[in-house]
Amino acid sequence: MRALRGRFIRGLLFSGLMFGLGLYGAGCDEGASDDDATPGDSTTGGEDTGGGGTGGDRAELEAPPGSVDPDELPDSDLENQPGNGGGTGAGTGGGTSPEGDQESPWGRPEADTGRPLPPRRPMNGSAQAAYRRGLQAAASGDSAQAQQAFQEALRADGNAYKAAYNLGVLADRAGQDARALQLYQQALRIQADYERAIEGIARIHLRRGNANEALSFVRPLAEQWIRNLAVQAIYGDVLVQANRPEEAIEAARRALRRDERFVPAMAVLVKANLRLGRTELAESILNQALQTSDSDAELHYLRGRMHQEAGQLQPALASYRRAIELEPSYTEARMALGLQQLAAGNYQEALQQFQTASRLAPGVAAVRLALGDALRATKQWQQAQAEFDRVQEMEPRNAEVHFNLAMMYREAGEQYPGMNNLQAYQRAVSELNRYRELMGPSLPRDDPSSTYLEELGRLIEREQRAIERDRARAEREAARAARQAQEAQEGGGEGGGE
């Protein structure tokens, strides 16, 4: 059974902002734990699975992850966001090593520089109540009720930036990119350094293949809010996506000079060094990051990717499962696990992973393509066709979908509703030819489509010969029946004359 193409699988390694991401799923902001309403925290990386806490219930100001101002002491009443003493080891923005005055391995500490961050004020009481109802509805899978509650929160308090953000998440999950962008931008207008809104906007640009546009959007915000380490990590991720790994390394190092234990910046270093082919250095940084925070889902995902690249599939699967356990809405990890299960012939588990991924990131063609492939593997032909049709609507020049359609028709044959073997094989040939046309000069010399076309040619000839034999047999039988009828008629006439 052939799964998705190798280049697609490898491409998942660096798609940290591509899906519903923070990649990790476009989850609701705080307090949700269900697969369809879990937090989308990948930009901060160090949050625990409960999300960013419940800061809307606090009387104090909130603080962005990893970004307590230098003169501000951590307060136990601040919401438990990553980097704010939440047990993740993400740091507090202090920028110094555990020994105090010793210089950080990332360079001279810089925690005392940069523009102060804008305050984050909690919602008023009415907005808080509606916001909590929205989180509960999202956790139970009731998107309509969640949307209504978040809208109510925003009406009750025009500064409820988290409500605006979560409305964006719901639109994002529904595949409404334009609406999601509007809502993320609204959240950002309210809270000018809100990292999750920045991440949401960046990921939509990246999903559309506009890495430069994502970079143009994030760069000035990273320069403006240099004390917000989560924004610096997002900037680093976008630089990796834009194939500028050296700049990503510099961005991550700047964040680590402020807090040497800030895990999301370490994750950027891992991805950037992997992009540069520095596997040993990436592994060393990853090990250091895991020592700082073993509960960070992205780190386990990256460990899984490295195991997979090294051909260590069982450890890779274990790492992917751990990432999903820590972050149920981690779409990338579900995709990676599903692809490996698909390749291994564990079709039902692969299907389950892709179905969840498609709920988390419904507007991502790669997710739909994988889901269609799993449906094909489980012989759910028409459902697979529907997913492949969606991919073509999203990306009319996607070559992969035509390859997978060809494999479906080849495997289904006469089992495909409304087709016989010959029709299915001819359709498979048509899809393979379209695949090759779209691939153009990038088609590898050893691409398997050539072998499949040869095989299908033989199958078509066999079916045509069988059809010809059946036609000839039918003609012979018809002729024999006619002769017998004629003989019977003639014999009956002679007998009547005597």
Separation of alpha carbons 294 and 302, rounded Å: 12
What's the pLDDT tens digit per position in 242-277? 999 999 999 999 999 999 999 999 999 999 999 999
Question: Among 230, 231, 235, 261, which Cα is nearest to 250's?
Answer: 235
Average pLDDT, the chain: 81
| Whether residue 179 sits in one domain with residue 37 | yes
Contacts of 380 (CB under 8 A, 6+ apart): none
* Domain assignment of residue 13, yes or no: no
Residue with tokens 């494999």: 407
Q: Is the model more confident about 347 or about 490?
A: 347
* DSSP-assigned beta bridge partners for residue 62: 120
- pLDDT value at position 45? 31
Q: What is d(CA 352, CA 332) in angstroms, rounded to the nearest whole number?
A: 14
Q: Per the domain annotation, does 370 fall within a domain?
A: no
* 31, pLDDT greater than 80: no
pLDDT value at residue 76: 27
* CATH of residue 106: 1.25.40.10
Q: What pLDDT does 249 receive?
A: 97
Residue for token pair 């039902």: 348
Same domain flag for 40 and 167: yes
Residue 284's pLDDT band, with cuts at 50, 70 and 90, is very high
Tell me how far apart the alpha carbons of residues 343 and 338 are, in angstroms, rounded to a whole number. 9
> Can you tell me the distance from the alpha carbon of 465 to that of 480, in angstroms, rounded to the nearest whole number?
22
- Measured CA to CA, the distance from residue 391 to residue 334 in angstroms comes to 19
Q: What is the pLDDT of residues 394-431, one digit of tens each?
A: 999 999 999 999 999 999 999 999 999 999 999 999 99
**Confidence class of residue 111 from pLDDT cuts 50, 70 and 90?**
low
Question: CA-to-CA distance for 8 and 84, rounded, in angstroms?
Answer: 37
Residue 30, helix vs strand vs coil:
strand
Q: Taking residues 321-334, report their average pLDDT.
A: 94
175 DSSP 8-state letter: T
Across 305-314, 443-452, 469-478, least confident range: 469-478
Q: Are residues 289 and 432 in the same domain?
A: no
Question: Is a pLDDT exceeding 90 seen at residue 149?
Answer: yes
Q: What is the pLDDT of residue 436?
A: 97
Residue with tokens 């806490």: 53
Distance in angstroms (rounded) separating the CA atoms of residues 167 and 149: 10
Is the pLDDT assigned to residue 157 strictly greater than 70? yes
Q: How much is the pLDDT for 493? A: 59
Q: Alpha-carbon distance 337 to 353, whole Å?
A: 7
| Domain extent at residue 108 | 22-302
> Residue 70: is its pLDDT beyond 80?
no
More confident residue, 99 or 374: 374
Span of 39-43, 400-404, 464-468 with lowest mean pLDDT: 39-43
Give φ, ψ of 86 to 5 degrees: -85, 10
Q: Which residues contact 472 (CB under 8 A, 6 or more apart)?
A: none
Domain membership of residue 186 (yes or no) is yes
Q: Which of 34-43, 51-60, 108-117 has the lowest mean pLDDT?
A: 51-60
Asked if residue 168 and residue 56 are part of one domain, the reply reads yes
Q: Does the structure show a pLDDT above 50 at 340?
A: yes
In a domain, 472, yes or no: no
Q: How far is CA 121 from the centre of its chain?
A: 32
Which of 251, 267, 302 marks a domain boundary?
302
Q: Of residues 484 and 400, which shows the higher confidence score?
A: 400
| Domain co-membership, 260 together with 405 | no
DSSP three-state, residue 26: coil
Same domain, 406 and 266: no
In a domain, 246, yes or no: yes
Higher confidence at residue 31 or residue 366? 366
pLDDT band at 14 (very low <50, low <70, confident <90, very high): very low
pLDDT at 383: 98
pLDDT at 152: 97
285 CB-near residues (< 8 Å, 6+ apart)? 266, 269, 270, 273
Tell me how many domains the chain contains.
Answer: 2
Query: Could you tell me if 340 and 308 are in contact, meaning their C-beta atoms sit under 8 angstroms apart?
Result: yes
The domain boundary, picked from 302, 329, 358, lies at 302
Confidence band, pLDDT 50/70/90 cuts, at residue 191:
very high
- Give the pLDDT score at 496: 54
How large a percentage of the chain has pLDDT more than 90?
Answer: 66
* Backbone torsions φ then ψ of 255, nearest 5 degrees: -65, -40
Q: How far apart are CA 384 and CA 369, in angstroms?
A: 9
Categorize the per-residue pLDDT at 6 as very low, low, confident or very high, splitting at 50, 70 and 90. very low
Q: What percent of the chain stands above pLDDT 70?
A: 76
Report residue 160: phi and psi, to 5°: -80, 75
**41 neighbors 258 (Cβ within 8 angstroms):** no
Query: Is residue 82's pLDDT more than 80?
Result: no
The residue type found at 178 is A
Compute CA distances 189 → 169, 246, 256, whole Å: 16, 31, 28
- Among the candidates 302, 333, 348, a domain finishes at 302
Which pLDDT belongs to residue 367? 95
349 inside domain: no
The single residue listed with the structure tokens 């309509």 is 144
Q: Would you give the DSSP letter of residue 120?
A: B
146 in Cβ contact with 134 (< 8 Å): yes
Q: Residue 31 corresponds to which amino acid? A: G
296 lies in a domain? yes
CA triplet 337, 235, 336: central angle to 5 degrees? 5
What's the average model confidence in pLDDT over 446-464? 95
Straight-line distance from the first to the last Cα atom of the chain, in angstroms, rounded to the nearest whole number:
73
> Does residue 147 lie within any of the structural domains?
yes
3-state percent helix, strand, coil for the chain, nearest multiple of 5: 65, 0, 35
Given a cut of 70, is residue 180 above it in pLDDT? yes
Q: What is the DSSP string of 64-109?
A: -TT---TT----TTS---TTTTSSS----S----TTSSSPBTTBS-
